[in-house]
Structure 1
């Protein structure tokens, strides 16, 4: 089975999720999204596949969330902010042949292994 993880190596949840994938016998493609960035289309597709809205996938605990007043923003405005500030996307996102999940909690990944 193919797997991809949109990963932030500084995030303990992301590191634990990567370990979980490897323990399941997968060697996923690792995309360090803070380096690679996002496109609007890419985020829209990932969120649609995971059944999420941009509001559900934004990191509300990130300082930029408050600085940009995203609590009052529309989903389109949140999506634009995520493209310009990749750190705003909640992590990690995992894609396998069985689907796409935001690994918060990590157990969400079990559904697609």
Structure 2
């Protein structure tokens, strides 16, 4: 199975999601989206395929969200996409795409919706067990 993860190695949720994909026996294409952000068209495609609104795909914590005034409800999707592309840290993570769909994997277990069954239990970084059942 092919898989792509838009990954931030500094993010525990992203690291756990990547480890879950690998635990399922899949070596994904790992895109460091901070260094190599998706194109506008690709970002729009990921957001739509995940069933999210553009606003629902923006990360607020640890980003310039407030400083940029992105909480203003009058901002259009185009305005928000412009900000996300100018400041990729605003793109919530991790987005994962497999032949089974696209998900914003927060929490990391959301990735199980688009993976084959796990071969056994998985222990996350914090010690929490994920069974996949």
When normalised by structure 2's length, the TM-score is: 0.82
Are residue 15 (structure 1) and residue 7 (structure 2) matched?
no
Q: Deviations over 1:19-42 (max 9, x none)?
A: 000001110000000011232111
Aligned residues: 113
Q: CA separation in 1, counterparts of 2:38 and 2:100? A: 22
Q: CA separation in 2, counterparts of 1:99 and 1:37? A: 20
Q: Which residue of 2 aligns with 1:60?
A: 60
Moved more, 59-68 or 44-53: 59-68
Q: CA separation in 1, counterparts of 2:41 and 2:104? A: 17
Q: CA separation in 1, counterparts of 2:100 and 2:31? A: 19
Q: CA separation in 1, counterparts of 2:28 and 2:11? A: 17
Q: Which residue of 2 aligns with 1:111?
A: 113
- Aligned residue runs from structure 1 range 1-113, under 5 A: 1-72=1-72, 73-113=75-115
- Give the structure with the larger helix fraction: 1
Larger Rg: 1 or 2? 2
CA RMSD of aligned residues (A): 0.9
Q: CA deviation at 1:100?
A: 0.3
User: Which stretches of structure 1, 4 residues or more, deviate above 2 A after TM superposition?
Assistant: none
Q: Secondary structure of the residue that 2:97 maps to in structure 1?
A: strand
